[in-house]
Structure 1
């Protein structure tokens, strides 16, 4: 009986070696940083954001230029101008400084929000392409983060090319 049991265990053990568990996994890796920088949708998105925020950037530069002019006038003529005029220019400079800080803060907040919205769109599109590649080439696992990976596992170029073709 024990020989029969040992034979059954041995047969089942050898049977596992031909099971699907023993088949080699096909693994891929995608460098999402590269996709976010090099893929056509990412480049279009970056251009779109630059165009969208360029007027606000120009507004900040104009206010900054105005503040620079007021500061230069204070430094140049401050010693010779009337005290009331000097206080008025100092108040104007303080107001412009607060305005610049407010504009820059709002600009950064809104730009970051828009970047996150655009990244979500790019990520969704990229994930759809990754799913297509995984299905077509029968990948078992595709990773986005890894401490170490072999270059032969990297499918980033395929993903970037697929995104350009869309």
Structure 2
């Protein structure tokens, strides 16, 4: 009876060993998975949607940006004038002009922060819209090419599996 139990454990051990040895072969069958890669930066820079978005943003924000630059130039010119005039104006006038410059500078910094926040928010919103449409295009390309997975920005990918241009083409053809 003891021999039977030990041969049973040997059989269990052999089955376990066979399973361990067969497992890589089972996974190797799935190794034929078709993979693609996508360069997201290229997608967000070269698609028509991205170019149109960037043009709209530049148009919408250029006036504010120019106003900020103009204000900065005026403040700089006023500071240089104050520096030149400092030896010939009285102390009270110098202090008053310094305070005005400081207030103008604070206001300019506030406008710059608001501008940056608004620009970042707009970029974020537009990128989200592009990403939504890019995901649809990505799925179309994956189905057309019968890909099992598309990897985003891998550290290295053989150019043969790069489907970025195909996704851009699909994205550009969307309405």
TM-score w.r.t. structure 2 length? 0.79
Correspondences of 1:96-115 after superposition (within 5 Å)? 96-115=104-123
Match of residue 3 from structure 2: none
Tell whether 2:42 aligns with 1:34.
yes
1:22 deviates by 4.7
The alignment partner of 1:142 has SS state of: strand
CA RMSD in angstroms, aligned pairs only:
2.2
1:164 deviates by 2.3
Structure 2: 5+ residue stretches without partners: 1-10
The alignment partner of 1:139 has SS state of: coil
Q: Report the count of equivalent residues.
A: 153
Match of residue 126 from structure 1: 134
C-alpha distance in 2 between matches for 1:62 and 1:31: 38
1:89 deviates by 1.2
Match of residue 55 from structure 1: 63
Match of residue 91 from structure 2: 83
Query: Larger radius of gyration, structure 1 or 2?
Result: 2
Match of residue 154 from structure 1: 162
Deviations, residues 83-115 of structure 1 (Å, cap 9, x unaligned): 222122111110111111111111111111111
Tell whether 2:101 aligns with 1:93.
yes
1:24 deviates by 2.3
1:126 deviates by 0.7
The alignment partner of 1:79 has SS state of: helix
C-alpha distance in 2 between matches for 1:34 and 1:23: 28
The alignment partner of 2:61 has SS state of: helix
TM-score w.r.t. structure 1 length? 0.83
1:141 deviates by 1.0
The alignment partner of 2:88 has SS state of: coil
Residue range with higher mean Cα deviation, 38-47 or 155-164: 155-164
Q: Extract structure 1 runs of 4+ deviating beyond 3 A.
A: none
